[in-house]
Amino acid sequence: MKRRAFTLVELLVVIGIIALLTAILIPALRRTRLQAKAVLCSSNINQLTLGLIRYEIENETFPYALDTTSTEPPPGGYPGNLMYDRAGWWWFNYIVDYSKEDSESVILCPSRQILDSRLKYNVLCGNYGVNQSVCKNSRSIENQTEFAGKPLSSSDISHPGWTFLVADCGYGMINWLHAADTLPESHSNTIEDTAYIPGLWINENRSLWPGQRDDAVCGRHPNKTVNVGFADGHISHVEAEIFFVEKTGDNYRNLNPFWLPK
């Protein structure tokens, strides 16, 4: 019996159907992959937040965001690149014993988008940042004395469900000045000056390091959202805009009470 072959028209129809299905499925698979990364990121934020809270419970204070007073480097050496980052013990160095997960993996955001050769392997860039209004620095640089001194304790935070501890960030520590529509003048050459909330609209007009712009402007998760861990231990997935700080006259106004303990 003679086998019937496909006609050219039938082959074109099949190819067309395959192309249509591919066009439908690829974006769906991409969204699923992005959502899966956002869930894993939220899990990392959860572990880091619990580590910070456990540290505070045992030590009656949160750890420094950055402690430059120690003469010895943390285990594994100083994080970051000493050409562009300050040397010291970072907040995640202090909570290693208070986190149930591998600290080296939990500090890395799976949605990280930093590709520049100077920043790509820098753990301080494009992962998570701690709130400097809570976990202050041991020493200040330039005009940021507000964020230096002894870190706060839980008793200093009136509404822990409103105050964030750690979130998706462009740098390992961040303060409300980095989310303000009018940035203070700075002359520092450290990367910490370009700390940002991924997806926040003001990043479009900021001076950023090469490799930071996609993460800063386009955001890290779907719909320019950010994973956040709060001082009461709960984790939330919020729009980047909620971090915005507006300048009115000579004063800054935090539109949402995320930054400062109140």
Q: Do 84 and 192 contact (CB within 8 A), yes or no?
A: no
232, part of any domain: yes
Residue 143 confidence (pLDDT): 64
Q: Do 44 and 106 contact (CB within 8 A), yes or no?
A: yes
**3-class DSSP state for residue 173?**
strand
Residue 92 confidence (pLDDT): 95
Residue 59 confidence (pLDDT): 95
66, part of any domain: yes
138, part of any domain: yes
Q: How many Cα atoms are found within 13 Å in the side-chain-facing hemisphere of 141? A: 16
Which two three-digit tokens encode residue 66? Answer: 């950055």
- b vs e for 141-158, b when ≥16 Cβ sit within 10 Å of the residue's Cβ? beebeebbeebbebeebe
Residue 210 confidence (pLDDT): 83
162, part of any domain: yes
Give just the sign of the alpha carbon dihedral 87, 155, 196, 218.
positive
173, part of any domain: yes
Q: Do 202 and 179 contact (CB within 8 A), yes or no?
A: yes
Number of domain units in the chain: 1
Which two three-digit tokens encode residue 219? Answer: 């955001």
In whole angstroms, how far apart are CA 220 and each of 111, 112, 131, 214, 242? 6, 7, 19, 9, 15
Residue 176's domain comprises 8-254
Look-up: residue for tokens 């045992």? 58
261, part of any domain: no
Find, among 128, 67, 134, 60, the residue nearest to 94 by Cα.
67
143, part of any domain: yes
Residue 165 neighbours by CB under 8 Å, 6+ apart: 49, 52, 53, 62, 130, 131, 134, 135, 229, 230, 231
Q: Which residues of the chain have pLDDT under 50?
A: 187
Residue 97 confidence (pLDDT): 79
Residue 100 confidence (pLDDT): 59
Residue 207 confidence (pLDDT): 84
Look-up: residue for tokens 């230096």? 148
182, part of any domain: yes
DSSP 120: T
Residue 78 neighbours by CB under 8 Å, 6+ apart: 85, 87, 88
Q: What is the pTM of this model?
A: 0.84
Residue 28 confidence (pLDDT): 54
